[in-house]
C-alpha cells in the first residue's frame, strides 16, 4: 500500500487494547503514511471494539506478526508478554515500539536488546516523559547551556492512588513498576550514569501493599560517575492528584518542570487564592507526549533515524530499578558498574 505522497504506507499491528493501547492506536491512526491493520488482545471484545473504531482487523499474535505486509508492531500488552512479542517481531524483522519495561528481568531484557540489534530493526521503548513538551523544553534548554553544568536533579513523582494489590503483586515492585520512568528521566536529564545508588522506602498508605512485599513511598539518591547528585521522591498516593515535577540545579541557574493544569482559572475566596489541581493521571498529563512519541517512532522508522528512547535506555533504567530494589532490601547504598 502507498500513501498519497507516493511513499509506502506502514501497516501496524497493535498488541493490547487497554487504556494505553487505545491511545497509541488513535495516535498512530492519525499519522500520515501509517495504517492500523491489526489489533491483538486476549480480550477479543476489546480487540474488536478498537479494531472497529479504526477500520482494522482482529488477529492473533502469529497472524499479525506473520503478515509480511506489517512493518511495525506496537506492544501495549501486559509486561510479561513484552519480551516474547519483541523477540517475535525482531525475528520477522518488524520495527518495534514497546511500552516500558522491556521485561522484569535483566536477562530477558538483554536478550531482546540482542535480538533487535541482530535483526537491525528499530526498537523504541515508551518512555513518553521525554516527549512531554515541558520536560523536553527543560532538556533542550539545559543542552543549550542555559544553566551551565547541571549538578543536582530533584525528581518528584507521585501517583494519585495505588493500583489494586493484585496488580502490585505482579508489578515487579515499585522500583521497576513506577520509578523506572524516573530512572530514565535521571539519565536523560543529567546525561550521566549512576555510580552509587541508595534507596529506602516505607509502606504508609495501605498495609496490604506491605503484605505483598512492596512499599508505596520511596526516597532514592544517586551519585553519578561525574559526581552529580539526584534525589527522587515517589509515592503511590498523592491526595491532590498526579504530581510530576523535576528541577535541575546547574552552575549558572535552575530549571523547573512543573505540573500541567486543566485550566488557567484562579479563584479568590474569603480564605484562599486557588488554581486547579494537576491533570488527573498519566493519560491526561502525558496526552501530548503520547502523540509526540508515536509520531517520533514512525518518523524514525520512515527516515531511518535513531529513536530517542532505545532498548538500551530500557536496559539501563531496569538496571537502576534492580539496584534500587537491592539497596532498599539490604538497607545500604549499592555500587553500579558495567556488570551491574
Site for a copy of itself in 42-71 (CB under 8 A): 52
Residue 239 binding a copy of itself, by CB under 8 A: yes
CB of 264 to a copy of itself, least distance (A): 4
Return the range that interacts with a copy of itself (CB under 8 A); candidates 6-14, 144-152, 180-188, 292-300.
144-152
* Comparison of 163 and 262: residue with beta carbon closer to a copy of itself: 262
Q: Which of 82, 80, 234, 42 is nearest to 170 (CA)?
A: 80
Residue 6 binding a copy of itself, by CB under 8 A: no
Among 46, 111, 154, 283, binds a copy of itself (CB under 8 A): 154
Q: What is the dihedral of CA 112, 116, 118, 122, to 10 degrees?
A: -160
Per CB under 8 A, contacts with a copy of itself among 178-207 are 196, 198, 200-205
| Residue pointed to by grid coordinates 550514569 | 193
Radius of gyration of the chain (CA): 20
Among 110, 141, 169, 326, binds a copy of itself (CB under 8 A): 141
Residue 230 binding a copy of itself, by CB under 8 A: yes
Residue 236 binding a copy of itself, by CB under 8 A: no
Among 156, 171, 302, 309, binds a copy of itself (CB under 8 A): 156
> 101 preceded by cis ω (within 30°)?
yes
Whether residue 295 contacts residue 33, with contact meaning beta carbons closer than 8 Å, is answered with no
Euclidean distance between CA atoms 148 and 255, whole angstroms: 11
Grid coordinates of 232: 527522587
The phi-psi region of residue 184 (left if phi > 0; otherwise alpha if psi is between -120 and 50; otherwise beta) is alpha
CB of 54 to a copy of itself, least distance (A): 11
Per CB under 8 A, contacts with a copy of itself among 243-262 are 243, 249-260, 262
Count of residues near a copy of itself by CB under 8 A: 73
Site string for a copy of itself, 261-300 (x = CB under 8 A): -xxxxxxxxxxxxxxxxx----------------------
End-to-end C-alpha distance for the chain, whole angstroms? 45
Euclidean distance between CA atoms 146 and 140, whole angstroms: 9
Amino acid at each position: 500500500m502507498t500513501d498519497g505522497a507516493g511513499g509506502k504506507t506502514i501497516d501496524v499491528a497493535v498488541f493490547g487494547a487497554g487504556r494505553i493501547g487505545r491511545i497509541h492506536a488513535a495516535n498512530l491512526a492519525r499519522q500520515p503514511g501509517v495504517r492500523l491493520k491489526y489489533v491483538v488482545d486476549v480480550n477479543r471484545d476489546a480487540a474488536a471494539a478498537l479494531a472497529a473504531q479504526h477500520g482494522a482487523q482482529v488477529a492473533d499474535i502469529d497472524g499479525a506478526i506473520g503478515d509480511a505486509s506489517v512493518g511495525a508492531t506496537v506492544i501495549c500488552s501486559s509486561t510479561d508478554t513484552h519480551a516474547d512479542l519483541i523477540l517475535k517481531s525482531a525475528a520477522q524483522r518488524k520495527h518495534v515500539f514497546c511500552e516500558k519495561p522491556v521485561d522484569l528481568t535483566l536477562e530477558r531484557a538483554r536478550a531482546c536488546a540482542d535480538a533487535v540489534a541482530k535483526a537491525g530493526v528499530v526498537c523504541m521503548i515508551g518512555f513518553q516523559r521525554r516527549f512531554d513538551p515541558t520536560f523536553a523544553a527543560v532538556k533542550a534548554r539545559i543542552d543549550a547551556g542555559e544553566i551551565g553544568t547541571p549538578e543536582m536533579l530533584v525528581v518528584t513523582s507521585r501517583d494519585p492512588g495505588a493500583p489494586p494489590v493484585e496488580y502490585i503483586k505482579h508489578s515487579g515492585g515499585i522500583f521497576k513498576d513506577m520509578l523506572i520512568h524516573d530512572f530514565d528521566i535521571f539519565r536523560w536529564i543529567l546525561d550521566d550514569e549512576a555510580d552509587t545508588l541508595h534507596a529506602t522506602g516505607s509502606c504508609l498508605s495501605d498495609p496490604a501493599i506491605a503484605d505483598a512485599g512492596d512499599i508505596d513511598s520511596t526516597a532514592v539518591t544517586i551519585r553519578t560517575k561525574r559526581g552529580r547528585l539526584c534525589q527522587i521522591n515517589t509515592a503511590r498516593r498523592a491526595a491532590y492528584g498526579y504530581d510530576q515535577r523535576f528541577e535541575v540545579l546547574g552552575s549558572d541557574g535552575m530549571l523547573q518542570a512543573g505540573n500541567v493544569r486543566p485550566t488557567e482559572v484562579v479563584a479568590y475566596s474569603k480564605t484562599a487564592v486557588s488554581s486547579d489541581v494537576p491533570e488527573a493521571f498519566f493519560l491526561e498529563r502525558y496526552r501530548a507526549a503520547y502523540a509526540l512519541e508515536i509520531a517520533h517512532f514512525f518518523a524514525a522508522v520512515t527516515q531511518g533515524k535513531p529513536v530517542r528512547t532505545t532498548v538500551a535506555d530500557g536496559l539501563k533504567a531496569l538496571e537502576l530499578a534492580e539496584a534500587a530494589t537491592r539497596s532498599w532490601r539490604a538497607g545500604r547504598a549499592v555500587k553500579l558498574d558495567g556488570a551491574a
